[in-house]
Amino acid sequence: MVIVVGSGIIGSWIAYLLAKAGFEVYVFEKSENAGDGISGRNSGVLHSGIYYDETSLKSKFCFRGYEVAIPFFEKNKIPFSICGKVITTGLSDTIEDEKDKQIEIEKLFANGNRLGIPDLELKSNPGYHWKHVLGNTALWIPKTGIVDVPTYLKVLWQLGEEAGVKILKNKKVIREDGGVFALDLQSNIKEELEADYFVNACGLYSDELASNDLMNHKYEIKPNKGEYFRLNKQLPYETLVYPLPLKTSTALGVHYTFHLGGDAYAGPNSNWAFSKDDYNIITSRNVYFESLRKITDFYKEEDLSAGYVGLRPRLFLNGEAVKDFVIHKESNWIHLLGIESPGLTSSPAIAEEVVRMVG
Ligand SMILES: Cc1cc2nc3c(=O)[nH]c(=O)nc-3n(C[C@H](O)[C@H](O)[C@H](O)COP(=O)(O)OP(=O)(O)OC[C@H]3O[C@@H](n4cnc5c(N)ncnc54)[C@H](O)[C@@H]3O)c2cc1C
């Protein structure tokens, strides 16, 4: 019997694939509305994997995840669109800045080609190809899409239940005095849990369940805030528009994205949150607009209004930042740590890996 802790996109894929493989599976979820965590608060983008080093787990799982996800969406009628993505050098502050960006975009193009991402194109004068996109050079990545995340999660939970997964909500899993317990958050009753395997898919909180096991590995997750502003109209074409990724962090920079229901957003930026439930938007609209206006001249500041916030589970090991996903097996626990972007894209592949580890 396997207990999966957490019913975000990662825990849900793991539970579904384990049940399909014949395991008895229970999911413990502390929230009433599963999907309130990181999985319900992201850009919904299916990434090509262009940003990552080929030896990284992010690269490996992003590629495989994309390949598994597309036929899964088609089979289960989950709305998605392979809309492609433009990464532009955007407006530069100085000539040095411009030169630097030119080098960066060429490096990204070379990395994408090395990784075998199909049909990449480097284009000068992007505004000619995509009206209102600013900058001297852009990288066109046709193999990128968006998915309707609420439907994706709902379908996964339903398929999981049909395969035999039992989902228990309002149950917080805790570890104390060498035991594992489920605390019912409505009745306050605590019961001890036993299982052949426990899978820790707790997103922002996975460091808390890991810390009992990994004596010499002091993992800590710090929440990094990504704020989204809503845009009152979509660009006149369905394509994602990104700046070059930040050099100082794993964030991809404030970009233009849209949801399949018709909403458009700018986001997410990157700032440290005060806590793991700090979902307040604190950046003022005019400051936020400064980032967006570097990649497109389609919007005026008045077109932006406060949207939503997602928290990235930034992982640190003994105080040092870890840039890759971590999947750590220790006794009968499998811990998933630092599953930030491209975790949504990678989720089916991460689940396949966990099934291999359990089997
Ligand atoms: C701003 C932002 C934008 C992103 N954009 C993209 C994107 O465009 N494309 C992409 O591929 N990826 C993206 N990602 C990454 C992706 O969203 C995450 O990798 C993925 O959603 C992580 O899912 P999860 O299941 O690990 O976490 P969660 O969805 O947070 O699920 C964890 C669950 O565990 C539960 N839980 C926690 N502790 C306990 C406990 N002790 N007991 C019981 N339950 C517990 C929580 O309530 C929660 O439901 C983005 C992330 C962020 C923050």
pLDDT of residue 242: 94
Tokens at residue 199, please?
A: 């899978």
State which of 340, 346, 353, 354 you would mutate to test the pocket of ligand 1, scoring each by most atoms of that ligand within 8 A of its C-beta. 340
Which candidate, 271, 173, 175, places its Cα nearest to that of 222?
271
Cis peptide before 313 (omega within 30 of 0): no
Is ligand 1 within 6 A of the CB of residue 7? yes
- Which residue stretches of the chain have pLDDT < 70? 212-216, 249-250
pLDDT of residue 215: 61
Give the integer Cα–Cα distance in Å for 226 and 175: 30
pLDDT of residue 253: 79
pLDDT in tens, 301-334: 999 999 999 999 999 998 999 999 999 998 899 9
User: What totals of helices (H) and strands (E) does the chain contain, helices first?
Assistant: 8, 22
Give the integer Cα–Cα distance in Å for 349 and 158: 19
State which of 10, 176, 341 you would mutate to test the pocket of ligand 1, scoring each by most atoms of that ligand within 8 A of its C-beta. 341
Residue 38 CA, ligand 1 centroid: distance in Å:
3
Angle of helix 9-20 relative to helix 149-162, nearest 10 degrees, comes to 30
Which amino acid, residue 32?
E
State which of 29, 42, 350 you would mutate to test the pocket of ligand 1, scoring each by most atoms of that ligand within 8 A of its C-beta. 42
Beta bridge partner(s), residue 137: 124
Give the integer Cα–Cα distance in Å for 186 and 166: 19
Give the integer Cα–Cα distance in Å for 331 and 105: 44
Residue of the nearest CA to atom 39 in ligand 1? 202
Q: Specify the ligand 1 atom closest to the Cα of 268.
A: 1
Domains of the chain: 2-78+148-219+324-358 (3.50.50.60), 82-144+221-317 (3.30.9.10)
Residue of the nearest CA to atom 14 in ligand 1? 341
pLDDT of residue 126: 96
pLDDT of residue 246: 77
Which amino acid, residue 287?
V
pLDDT in tens, 253-267: 789 999 988 899 998
pLDDT of residue 150: 95
